[in-house]
A and B are shown apart, each in its own frame.
Chain A
Amino acid sequence: MVPTTSPLFGSSGIRGLVNELVTGPLAIRIGLAVAQLFREEQSKPHIMVGHDHRTTGPMLTSALISGLLTGGSQVTMAGMAPTPAIAYAGGKQRTDAAIIVTASHNPPEYNGFKFHNPDGAGFSANQQAKIESLIGSSKPVTWEEFGSTSSFEPIPIHIEAIERACTVNQQHRVILDAALGAGGLVTPLVLSKLDAKVTTIGVPPSGTEYAQNIPHSKIQSAAAAEWQHFVNLDNLSALVRTKKAEVGFAHDGDADRILAVDDKGRILAGDTLLALVADYYLATRGGKVIATTVSSSSVVDHIAKKHGAGVARCRVGDVFVSNLVKEHNAVLGAEPSGPFIFPEVHYCPDGPLAACKVLELLDWAKRPLSTLVDDLPKMHLLRASVKCPNDAKPAVMKHVASILDGWPEVEAVSQLDGVRASFSDSSWVLIRPSGTESVIRITVEAQSASRAKTLLKKAKHATQKGIS
């Protein structure tokens, strides 16, 4: 799928099929490389390591630890926990970095590695490139310098941090689908601590159940389905209606992401939740900037404008959003795919924290979630993809950029990640090469359906012309 010459790192760490790209020996080499990277800064690096619920988590985690120890790093073992809990604990325990063995929302036959700095932000492109270059060439230390391990339970301090960061005064009825993932270890507990009445599905975490059930779709669980397509959220949606809950939440496997269902059982688009949380944050905390990616809806721009604030956009990927939040001192960073970054706690996308923030929002709004959703400006978002060989992508994108630049009514063209053109009527077009497949993805958004259709047709035409 991915050519061998391409970098190991994707937009969120290293990820792939277990026993193919992602193997025990690769995990050893990654450990050695990370240890060497931090050894260049200090003699004795200290790394926190944990994993999500996947069946291959312990295998890869142990191999990773072995590599880290061989590279002279001290290792604190966090065990099974959500990505945000491990990243948070890594910072609090003053480690140099946290590595989480997870394939996030990917199917169970995948696994991978996420790398987070002590402030919670994912590794920068520079750090990733350094690791990439060190993999395979890094050296072990001598016998006197080998690292040793200790254990630390990350979940209690993560729960405490969320509790401290949230104030919820009313009791809310909540349905949570933790998708048998690691989020089930944190979100039910912290929601209960905030006095919510929680009904759970997909709890406790189970790699084997996840593995056994996913291929047959026996369980109707959120991340059980492909996260982006919301196929398996029917159960959550139905439960919200029958239990008359105010809100439903779903996490992906490692709970760095969240998805919400409103009190009518409607699955909210990522952009909708993003806009609502942005509205709440700008209204209650002030702030001048919301950080998001080129792929998010302009609804958030409407919200920001209402509060006299702006929206900063970056490439797709939580690492870039974290950096953007820091750069602009943004009050919130988020992507339509579900990661929410609350910089007052840390720069790691945090699903459990986001769930609690939505309860705060409900307290503040004093209205059902569905009415808040209905009050948002209606935008029409359309997506399409055009087949394109990987090696042709750069030339095609160059061509696309020149065409879009010449379009009438274009207000601005951004080439942060693909090409994004925005128009004076607040419609926009994003044409961007996929990082994982041989396609170019097109996203358009407009206030009217007909305008969106027209834009999509034009964008497709321009892309196809570039390919031929």
Chain B
Amino acid sequence: MEGDWRPRFGSSGIRGFVTEELAPNDAWFLGTSIATVFKKSPILLCSDNRTSSPLLVHALASGLVAGGALVILGGIVITPAVSLYVRHHQISTAVLVTGSHNSPQINGVEVLADDGAPVNRAIEQRIEELASNPPTPLPWDQQGTMTSVNDVGPFWVAQVNNLVNTSLIRRQNFRIAVDTCNGSAIPWLLNAIEGFGCQILGINTKQDPRFPGRSPNLTVELLGEVSRTVQENGCNLGVAVDGDGDRVFLIDEKGRILQGDVSGTIFARLELERHGGGTIVTPINTSNVVEDMAREFNGTIVYSRIGPPAIVAKIKANNAIFGFEESGKAIYPHLNYLSDCGLATAHMLEYLAENNVRLSSLVDALPKYHQIKQSIDCPDALKEVVVKHLIRVFKTDFPNAAFETMDGLKVVFDDGWLLLRPSGTEPKFKVFSESQYKPRAQALFQIGLNYLNETLRQHSKVKTKSGD
């Protein structure tokens, strides 16, 4: 049983249902494996506020110490604070227990390198290999130790407040609605925004691991209350985060909840203006709205595969000034390689104060795009062959389109694009279309759906035949 180590690193660390997929025993062996990889170095261990976080933290801490690590317990903190702390304090590794935006019965473990970025695939594989063939813990007189620090959250708050012209922001007396989702952004994000002298109208501001206020996920549909609060109280801005406070969505002063790629595009514009141009990294499923904005502000868009490790790799490779994902992730690489709602909010507030503009004007300056998304069932075993087949037929049937195949198949036309991509976490295939013209978006979506269904039909048949 102890050798049967099940969890695997996905696109964002290890995730699973506790205890069915991720049990204390798994965490213990994960801990000894991480310590074995990083030798006898200091490792910061923090978590979000889920019910399963303490049991995973204790099992990890025990395993890490058994493997010889010097464990620094950092408590419950907002996720971006962990990477910021590691990067500024020359700590070699951080282990972060967080279920992020997932439902409350799920939790996960992320491993960060000394620059605060997720560790690379090679290290993940090394950790997995070790955990599957449990490493022998160190002898009783060579094991590690535990200490604790209580300034991980406060350090982040101070950094966020010191980043921008706080006195300028304070003079505005902004009124801001903040939805902290009963998660581990509490109290840190609220403290940071208070530091800007803002009046806060708080929603879901009491930590509760059952997430009674709303799902820890971040979607437009979940943010009705913060939108209403903005409208009813004449707020300048609404801010909403996911369960562990790395993802951020904005609500403009009219109460409009911005899609993640719209707010990401606005954050990117602010960075391009501050830097006088530069490179922005975003995954291939991001709206073309970012291209339109980038043309105006001297930006270059570099596309990546979906998921933070891929985005961060492209950021580093291209010396990018900013990266974002439509899920609400906003990465300011000069400060933090993890998405940071605090840095995003600070830059936003500073921009509004400096330029005396409203968020709605930034939103309205962007062209409107229409998007259609849908998931189709697809067995994991078929994904690879389906992608290959789709690439072949699309290249034959649409010779004038441009193709991007780093993550599924993206077909780019003059007036829109279509993305067919296997899910990294579920037995599903995603169809995604976008155009400035609604009928064209619908037409592209229908093309994608038809090709996918036909390909699936053919390959299921082949499979059934060979199965007979």
Give me the interface of A with B, judged by CB distance under 8 Å. Answer: 18-19, 23-25, 27-28, 54-56, 58-63, 65-67, 69-70, 108-109, 111, 140, 142-149, 208, 211-212
Q: Which of B18-26, B219-227, B353-361 contacts A (4 or more CB under 8 A)?
A: B18-26
Hey, which chain B residues are within 8 Å of A147, CB to CB? 54-55
Q: Provided the pairs A19-B137, A70-B23, A211-B141 are in contact, do residues A146 and B28 lie with their beta carbons within 8 angstroms? A: no
Hey, which chain A residues are within 8 Å of B141, CB to CB? 55, 108-109, 208, 211-212
* The 10 A-B residue pairs with the shortest CB-CB distance in the complex, in nearest-first order: A62-B62, A63-B62, A66-B59, A69-B55, A66-B58, A143-B105, A66-B24, A146-B51, A59-B65, A18-B140
Hey, which chain B residues are within 8 Å of A111, CB to CB? 140
B349: Cβ under 8 A from any A Cβ: no
B27: Cβ under 8 A from any A Cβ: yes
In the complex, the answer to whether B54 meets A55 with C-beta atoms within 8 Å is: no
> Per-residue 0/1 for B127-155: is the Cβ within 8 Å of any A Cβ (1 yes, 0 no)?
00000000011011101111000000000
> Per-residue 0/1 for B54-79: is the Cβ within 8 Å of any A Cβ (1 yes, 0 no)?
11101101110110000000000000
Hey, which chain A residues are within 8 Å of B17, CB to CB? 143
In the complex, the answer to whether A70 meets B140 with C-beta atoms within 8 Å is: no
In the complex, the answer to whether A59 meets B51 with C-beta atoms within 8 Å is: no
Residue of A nearest to B210 (CB): A144
B279: Cβ under 8 A from any A Cβ: no
In the complex, the answer to whether B140 meets A24 with C-beta atoms within 8 Å is: no
In the complex, the answer to whether B25 meets A25 with C-beta atoms within 8 Å is: yes
In the complex, the answer to whether B28 meets A63 with C-beta atoms within 8 Å is: yes
In the complex, the answer to whether B145 meets A58 with C-beta atoms within 8 Å is: yes
In the complex, the answer to whether A27 meets B62 with C-beta atoms within 8 Å is: yes
In the complex, the answer to whether B143 meets A55 with C-beta atoms within 8 Å is: yes
Hey, which chain B residues are within 8 Å of A149, CB to CB? 54, 58
**Docked CA distance A56–B27 (Å):** 18
**Docked CA distance A208–B143 (Å):** 10
In the complex, the answer to whether A59 meets B62 with C-beta atoms within 8 Å is: yes
**Docked CA distance A149–B58 (Å):** 10
B104: Cβ under 8 A from any A Cβ: yes
> Per-residue 0/1 for B297-326: is the Cβ within 8 Å of any A Cβ (1 yes, 0 no)?
000000000000000000000000000000
Known A56-B143, A146-B52; further 12 A-B contacts with Cβ < 8 A? A19-B136, A24-B137, A27-B62, A54-B140, A56-B140, A63-B28, A108-B141, A142-B105, A143-B104, A143-B105, A146-B51, A208-B141
In the complex, the answer to whether A146 meets B59 with C-beta atoms within 8 Å is: no
Residue of B nearest to A59 (CB): B65
In the complex, the answer to whether B210 meets A70 with C-beta atoms within 8 Å is: no
**Docked CA distance A324–B61 (Å):** 40
Q: Provided the pairs A55-B140, A69-B55 are in contact, do residues A62 and B65 lie with their beta carbons within 8 angstroms? A: yes
Hey, which chain A residues are within 8 Å of B2, CB to CB? 25
**Docked CA distance A18–B27 (Å):** 19
**Docked CA distance A63–B59 (Å):** 5
**Docked CA distance A323–B210 (Å):** 44
Interface residues of B in 17-48 (CB under 8 A from A): 17-19, 23-25, 27-28, 32
In the complex, the answer to whether A143 meets B56 with C-beta atoms within 8 Å is: no
In the complex, the answer to whether A60 meets B62 with C-beta atoms within 8 Å is: yes
In the complex, the answer to whether A28 meets B24 with C-beta atoms within 8 Å is: yes
**Which of B51, B55, B104, B210 touches A66 (beta carbons < 8 Å)?**
B55
**Docked CA distance A70–B63 (Å):** 16
In the complex, the answer to whether B23 meets A62 with C-beta atoms within 8 Å is: no
Hey, which chain B residues are within 8 Å of A143, CB to CB? 17-18, 51-52, 104-105
**Which of B18, B24, B65 touches A67 (beta carbons < 8 Å)?**
B24
Q: Provided the pairs A65-B58, A66-B28 are in contact, do residues A23 and B137 lie with their beta carbons within 8 angstroms? A: yes
**Which of A59, A63, A142, A148 touches B143 (beta carbons < 8 Å)?**
A59
Hey, which chain A residues are within 8 Å of B61, CB to CB? 58, 62
B142 smallest CB distance to A (angstroms): 9
Q: Provided the pairs A25-B25, A27-B62, A67-B24 are in contact, do residues A140 and B139 lie with their beta carbons within 8 angstroms? A: no
Q: Provided the pairs A24-B137, A140-B19 are in contact, do residues A146 and B54 lie with their beta carbons within 8 angstroms? A: yes
Hey, which chain B residues are within 8 Å of A18, CB to CB? 139-140
| Sample of 6 A–B contacts (CB below 8 Å) | A24-B63, A55-B140, A66-B56, A66-B62, A108-B141, A146-B18
Hey, which chain A residues are within 8 Å of B143, CB to CB? 55-56, 59
Hey, which chain A residues are within 8 Å of B28, CB to CB? 24-25, 28, 63, 66
A386 smallest CB distance to B (angstroms): 33
Hey, which chain B residues are within 8 Å of A55, CB to CB? 140-141, 143
**Which of B19, B25, B59, B139 touches A19 (beta carbons < 8 Å)?**
B139
Hey, which chain B residues are within 8 Å of A145, CB to CB? 51
Residue of B nearest to A31 (CB): B24
Residue of A nearest to B61 (CB): A62
**Docked CA distance A28–B62 (Å):** 10
**Docked CA distance A144–B104 (Å):** 9
Hey, which chain A residues are within 8 Å of B52, CB to CB? 143, 146
In the complex, the answer to whether A62 meets B146 with C-beta atoms within 8 Å is: yes
In the complex, the answer to whether A28 meets B54 with C-beta atoms within 8 Å is: no
Q: Provided the pairs A143-B18, A147-B54, A148-B54 are in contact, do residues A58 and B65 lie with their beta carbons within 8 angstroms? A: yes
**Docked CA distance A115–B447 (Å):** 68
A412 smallest CB distance to B (angstroms): 45
B191 smallest CB distance to A (angstroms): 23
**Which of A54, A70, A109, A142 touches B24 (beta carbons < 8 Å)?**
A70
**Docked CA distance A69–B58 (Å):** 9
In the complex, the answer to whether B58 meets A59 with C-beta atoms within 8 Å is: no
A342 smallest CB distance to B (angstroms): 33
Residue of B nearest to A69 (CB): B55
